[in-house]
Amino acid sequence: MNTPQKIIKEIRPHPLAYLFYYFAGGFVTVSIFWTNKYNFLIGILIIIFTEIFRRAQTFRILETGVERGFKFLINLKIFADFDKIQDMSVEQGIIDRVLGIGKLKINTAGSPNSEIVFSGIKNPEEIEDLIRKKLKK
């Protein structure tokens, strides 16, 4: 039986990471005057599903590693021990830098691709520094 690990930090994607989808839903919602009567419902559903998807994602830094979780219709967890982490990188586009959000990619031993990606997080450099401090211990 697994004993629960102490959570050092829990992060969810920032709402600004989904700004495009919120605007798209809002645009479809207010376009009721130009097209059909179902646009209002469709726009509201876009906004609701965007928020559900955002809240379904969780990124955790635990005592022994990092974890990405997704709980909506399925329960998905991806975990990487600190001793398996080989490198990390922060990705931020121009708009991401302005908004203060970004993506933290974590690579582990044995795979050339990023196994765990913390996307849409606020201040990704701070999260990277926190993980690097845990790696040195």
Is residue 21, in this structure, part of any structural domain at all? yes
Is residue 35, in this structure, part of any structural domain at all? yes
| pLDDT, tens digit, 9 for 90 and up, residues 54-83 | 999 999 999 999 999 999 999 999 999 998
What pLDDT sits at residue 2? Answer: 59
**Buried-state track 102-127, b at ≥16 Cβ within 10 A, e below 16:** bbbbbbbeeeeebbbbbbbbbebeeb
- Which of helix, strand or coil describes residue 125? helix
What pLDDT sits at residue 55? Answer: 96
The structure's pTM equals: 0.84
What pLDDT sits at residue 50? Answer: 96
**Which residues are CB-contacts of 45 (< 8 A; sequence separation ≥ 6)?**
25
Give the strand pairing for 57-62 and 65-71: antiparallel
Low-confidence stretches of the chain (pLDDT beneath 70) = 1-3, 32-35, 111-114, 137
What pLDDT sits at residue 109? Answer: 80
| CATH for 46 | 2.30.29.30
What is the domain range of residue 103?
7-136
What pLDDT sits at residue 1? Answer: 42
Considering only CA atoms, give the Rg of the chain. Answer: 18
How far is 5 from 104, CA to CA, in rounded Å? 22
Backbone angles phi, psi at 115, to 5 degrees: -85, -35
What pLDDT sits at residue 28? Answer: 87
How far is 86 from 135, CA to CA, in rounded Å? 10
What pLDDT sits at residue 113? Answer: 64
Is residue 72, in this structure, part of any structural domain at all? yes
